[in-house]
Every structure is written in structure tokens, then in C-alpha cells.
Amino acid sequence: MGLFPKNINEYLALQGIPRGPYSQVYIVDPANGSDSNPGTSFTQPLASIAAAYALCTANQHDVVLYLAGSSGNNLSAALTWSKNYTHLIGWCAPTRTAQRARIFQLSTLTGASPLITVSATGCIFRDLYIFQGVDDATSLINVSVTGGRNYFDNVHFAGGGHASQAIDGGASLKLDGAEENTFKNCTIGVDTIDAATGMVSLLLDGEAHRNVFEDCYFRMRAGNSGAAFVEVADATGIDRDNTFKNCIFVNNSTSNDMASAFVIPAGMGEPRVLLLKDCMFHNVTKLDANDRGVLFGNMGAVTGADLSGVAVQLIT
């Protein structure tokens, strides 16, 4: 017989969520909860993530446990996650796209750019769908990460879900000065809206560095060849390296190949590099149309046994 947890704290510990002597769990159930409830049991859950987050205390590994159901959590105001070592866990089927632990921008909310900011450090986010899809051209950044050493596992960052938002300056995920974060099994972007020139899945800015994307999907439906998967905002948008390992980049447009999967500004050069290991691209003309010389990967033709697995500049 297997081991069964005696309570929710033991369950979370078995799932790799750190627990401390003062850790609290606050349960969110948008379909059945109320923000007047204490949120400490499944029979008296809270209705919103914002209410649960307000009850959390930084640095003690509190957890907001979001129970999936028939309703999503509509944010009526932008949310800043600034409490260190505080975790947000969706409790749902761990599908890779559009998970049912859903966070939305309320249709009447404007100017939410970003909709969610993660400025804390040491947090875990798991099994979540964060969707920004309203008719508002002032809400262009879905999620911005400014903190460091956070872990995102199976999170779908779904920005640009409306034509008004899938425009120049829009991004599903922005790393702004973020350092040493890990994104595992995540999906970045949507393929249900024609993305205009300048819309990107991932925007790197503020010397973002040593962030790792592993086994992630980048999704886009390019409405113009100028849409891209990844953009570095300026010559100091990244510092040192950011790594993409075993990632798949899919442009589901039937009429517009991306001119450049990565948009790299002039003036960038080593040691500021993007490392690609075992990645695959669909409907892309070139990885870097300007051949800036900062993309390195192992997907090029192997010309000799000694070069197998060696990173080379990707200029095609």
C-alpha cells in the first residue's frame, strides 16, 4: 500500500511545497467560496486569490491553494505578488494548456499592464492558467516577473488573448530584471488570436539573467511576419545568459511565417547570450533575422564527430 497524507500540509510537503512551523494554507474556490470566509478549510473557502494573498505572511511558506471548478478567478485589479516564500498552487488536472485553475482579467478592468507582477523571491507557482483577453489596448503585459529564484511549474502565461492586446508592446510574459527563475513545463503565448507586428510571447528587459526555460511550449499565431516568440528590449535587456532547453516554438499561422523567432537589438554581443539546447521551431523563416551573434545552440548541422553537442552560433 502507498503512503497517504493525513492532512493538507502533509500533502503539500509530499508535493515538494516547503512547509515551516508557522505555514498556513488558504483555500480559494471561486465557484463556492466567499471572501468573508476564513479560507482555512474546504467547507469555508475564499472566493478570490487576492483575498487569500492578503492573509498570507511573507517568509513562512504560506500557500494559496486554488481549487479548480466551473468558475475562474476574475481579477478586478492588478495583482502584485511581493511576499517572499509564498506559494500559489492550482489544484486541477495538470494539463499543459489552459489549465482549469484559471485567472482572468475582469472585462471592465483597464490599464492592467502587467495584470500580475511577481516581485517576490523563492516562490512556487504550479498548475495555473493566467489569461489576459479583453478589449483594452492599455493592458498589454500579462505577467511580469521582477523577482528572483522563483519556480514556475506547468503555468500557462496566456497574454494577447484579444486583438486589442495582441499588438506592438504586448507580451504574455515579461522578465524585467528577473534573475535565476526556472520555468518548467510552462506554456507561453496563445494561438487563438492573430498577433500583430511587435507582439511577443516573451519579453526580456532590465538585464534579466540566468533564467531557465525547460520543456516549455511557446505558442503564437502570427497575423504578421513581424510577430515573434522572444524579444530582447534593448542592448542591456539581458545580462550573461538565459537558457532554453528542449523547448518547442509553434507558430500556428497558415499564412505568415515569422521573419525572426528572436528579435535581438543592435549593440548586443557576448557575454550577453541566449542558449538554445535541443529546441524545435515551426513556421519560422530565421531564428535571428539580423544575425546578431548572441544565439547559441546545438541544433545546427553536425559536421564532425567532435562537434556533436557543441554549441554554435545560430545564424540561419
User: In this structure, what C-alpha cell is assigned to residue 137?
Assistant: 489596448
In the predicted structure, residue 130 carries a pLDDT above the cut 50? yes
Q: Report the percent of the chain where pLDDT is more than 70.
A: 93
Residue owning grid cell 488536472: 93
Could you list the beta-strand ranges (E) of 160-298.
Answer: 171-176, 182-184, 187-188, 194-195, 200-205, 212-214, 217-222, 228-232, 241-245, 248-251, 262-263, 273-277, 280-282, 295-297
**Which pLDDT score is estimated for 6?**
61
Sort strands 212-214 and 182-184 into parallel, antiparallel or unpaired.
parallel
Give pLDDT tens digits for 63-85.
999 999 999 999 999 999 999 99
For the ranges 24-33, 115-124, 208-217, 295-304, which has the lowest average pLDDT? 295-304
Mean model confidence pLDDT for the chain: 93
> If phi over 0 gives left and psi between -120 and 50 gives alpha, with beta otherwise, what is residue 312?
beta
**Which pLDDT score is estimated for 1?**
36
**Which pLDDT score is estimated for 300?**
72
**Which pLDDT score is estimated for 306?**
47
Whether pTM exceeds 0.85 = yes
**Which pLDDT score is estimated for 50?**
98
CB-neighbour burial class of residue 312 (10 A; exposed 0-12, middle 13-18, buried 19+) = middle
Q: How far is CA 266 from CA 4, 224, 232, 291, 292, in A?
A: 56, 22, 10, 10, 7
Q: Report the percent of the chain where pLDDT is more than 90.
A: 88
Give pLDDT tens digits for 247-298.
999 999 989 999 999 999 999 988 999 999 999 999 999 999 999 999 998 8
User: In this structure, what C-alpha cell is assigned to residue 259?
Assistant: 521573419
**Which pLDDT score is estimated for 263?**
97
Sign of CA dihedral 15, 18, 19, 23: negative
SS3 at position 71: coil
Give pLDDT tens digits for 153-200.
999 999 999 999 999 999 999 999 999 999 999 999 999 999 999 999
**Which pLDDT score is estimated for 15?**
85
SS3 at position 50: helix
In the predicted structure, residue 124 carries a pLDDT above the cut 80? yes
